[in-house]
Structure 1
Amino acid sequence: MPLVPIDRPEFDVAIDLRYATERNFTGEPVYARALPFLHRHAADALARAIALARPLGLRLKLLDLYRPPEAQWKLWHHTPDPEFIAVPWRGSPHGRGVAVDLTLLDGQGEELDMGTDFDAFTPRSHHGDTAVSVDAQRNRLLLLGLMTAAGFDFYRNEWWHYQLFDARARYPLIADGAAAPRLM
């Protein structure tokens, strides 16, 4: 199984898996259990992003990583909006373990202003939206630069979402039941 745990000390990040709590757009936990895992290739790219952010006095805060396909169906049933929710019959890069939703933290551990909250399903969440403040635009571009330099592709509708290139073609979906015996 290619999924690896994302935790300390190997990964110096803050983790706040929103879909394991009620602090997400559904208002209830989506995951049966929190699984802070990524495919080894995505974990390697994440390590590069962490290393790039460190000299700038920044840390990454991870909001979602591996998302079981079963959870993708729950999200879709709640909000069937293909602009922001991957259609579950095609599968999400999260369900392949090769996507991460995240933001940046400053040296005091405070989130940088990104102009919208995570999972704000609005055009203001799009990369390049100029209706957000100049500071938020700058912070989004900083995150974009760090993540793309580390080897991730971005999703234009969500400033927080990054994935490996060609995710659907190169990586199979990993069902929660299939992953659990080797992960826990």
Structure 2
Amino acid sequence: MSAFHLLLPLLFLTILFGACSGEEDRRAEDSRIPDGFGYVHKVISDARYDIRYYTEDNFVGARVDGYLAPVAILTDEALAALKKAADELREQGYGIVVFDTYRPQKAVDHFVRWARDPSDTLTKQKYYPEVDKADLFEKGYIAERSGHTRGSTIDLSLYDLETGEEIDMGSGFDLFGPPSHHDSELVTPEQAANRILLKETMERHGFLPYSREWWHYRLADEPYPETFFDFDVQ
């Protein structure tokens, strides 16, 4: 018997065990989230991620409670709608950049604790230079309940598929203040056009914008409108 024929069974077993291991990894990942939810990376292969709340580069200045991995999770319904939006944007030469999706209630509670601490202004210059921290609740930037916690809301931007560069929207993600408003007159015509491109595409696929945040979209027909989840992002 040739060496090749002797190696065939070993090769077959290696492939078989590799496939089984990959399937086990996928099942283990899926078991971390409830039925009815899925991961963006499994549906949109060219999406990019800048999950700020997993890092210290956010308005809190620390990793946010409940963010155990830099992944993006949505309800199945929101995922399906987002995929259609991403497919349309891809045809125009754009990919999506995801900042945040599902957010556990413990993370929202973390935001609330931070907002109620007037002594912590470490991130003011970058994230809320024109807004008094004491006014963040009143102005609608921080709340005790969030649409993100229901699993069908996404914060996102765009990048150029050819150059890889993020599209200029006129203000950074989570900048609290007038420059981030959809109707802001503080952005250039080109920046405004970029926002409109994202907005109109998301609206065509069932998402609603938030007037104060150009990056924020909620699925209009969300499946859990009264449920605020608290499982970890992992």
Task: Give TM-score scaled by structure 1 length.
Answer: 0.88
Which residue number in structure 2 is paired with residue 27 of structure 1?
Answer: 61
How many pairs does the alignment contain? Answer: 177
User: Structure 2: where are the runs of 5+ without partners?
Assistant: 1-34, 117-135
2:115 corresponds to 1:75: no
Q: Deviations over 1:10-39 (max 9, x none)?
A: 443101111000111111110441342101
2:231 corresponds to 1:176: yes
Moved over 2 A (4+): 8-12, 82-86, 166-171
2:162 corresponds to 1:93: no
2:67 corresponds to 1:12: no
C-alpha distance in 2 between matches for 1:142 and 1:39: 24
Q: 2:170 aligns with which of 97, 115, 124?
A: 115
CA RMSD in angstroms, aligned pairs only: 2.0
User: Structure 1: where are the runs of 5+ without partners?
Assistant: none
Q: Is the 8 A contact 1:118 1:160 kept in 2?
A: yes
Deviation, 1:79, is 2.6
Greater C-alpha radius of gyration: 2
Deviation, 1:105, is 0.3
Which residue number in structure 1 is paired with residue 85 of structure 2?
Answer: 49
C-alpha distance in 2 between matches for 1:55 and 1:166: 25
Deviates more, 1:64-73 or 1:1-10: 1-10
Which residue number in structure 2 is paired with residue 147 of structure 1?
Answer: 202
Q: Deviations over 1:111-143 (max 9, x none)?
A: 111111000001111002121111110101011
Aligned-partner residue type, residue 26 of structure 1? V
The 3 A distance-change label for structure 1 pair 8 and 167 is closer
